Amino acid sequence: MTIKPYPISARLPVPASIPRPAYAGDMGPERYSGPDVMTPEVTAKMRLAGKVAADAMAAGAALVAPGVSTDEIDKAVHAYLIDHGAYPATLEYRGFPKSCCTSVNEVICHGIPDARPLEDGDIVKIDVTSYLDGVHGDTCATYFVGEVDEASRLLAERTQEAMMRGIRAVKPGRRLNVVGRVIEAYAGRFGYGIVRDYTGHGCHVAFHSGLVVPHYDEPAANTLLEPGLTFTIEPMLTLGDYRSHVWDDGWTVLTNDGSRCAQFEHTIVVTEDGAEILTLP
Which residues contact ligand MF3 by CB under 6 A? 90, 93-94, 96, 101, 110, 127, 129, 138, 201, 234, 251, 265
Site string for Co ion, 134-173 (x = CB under 5 A): ----x-x---------------------------------
Report the distance separating Cα 98 and Cα 71, nearest Å: 9
- Is residue 232 involved in binding Co ion (CB under 5 A)? yes
Residue 60 Cβ vs ligand MF3, minimum distance, rounded to whole Å: 13
Report the distance separating Cα 20 and Cα 165, nearest Å: 34
Stretch that binds Co ion, among 52-60, 212-220, 243-251, 263-271 (CB under 5 A): 263-271
> Omega into 15 within 30° of 0, i.e. cis?
no
Residue 124 Cβ vs Co ion, minimum distance, rounded to whole Å: 14
Q: Which of 209, 246, 208, 251 is nearest to 97 (CA)?
A: 251
Instruction: Centre a 10 Å sphere on the Cβ of residue 87 and count the other Cβ atoms it contains.
Output: 22
| φ/ψ bin of 207: left (φ > 0), alpha (ψ from -120 to 50), beta (otherwise) | alpha
The smaller minimum CB distance to ligand MF3, of residues 156 and 272, is found at: 156
Residue 231 Cβ vs Co ion, minimum distance, rounded to whole Å: 9
Pick out residues in 184-213 that bind Co ion (CB under 5 A).
none
The smaller minimum CB distance to ligand MF3, of residues 69 and 102, is found at: 102
Burial 15-29 (b: 16+ CB within 10 A, else e): eeeeeebebbeeeeb
Instruction: Give the interface with Co ion as residue ranges (CB under 5 A).
Output: 127, 138, 140, 232, 265
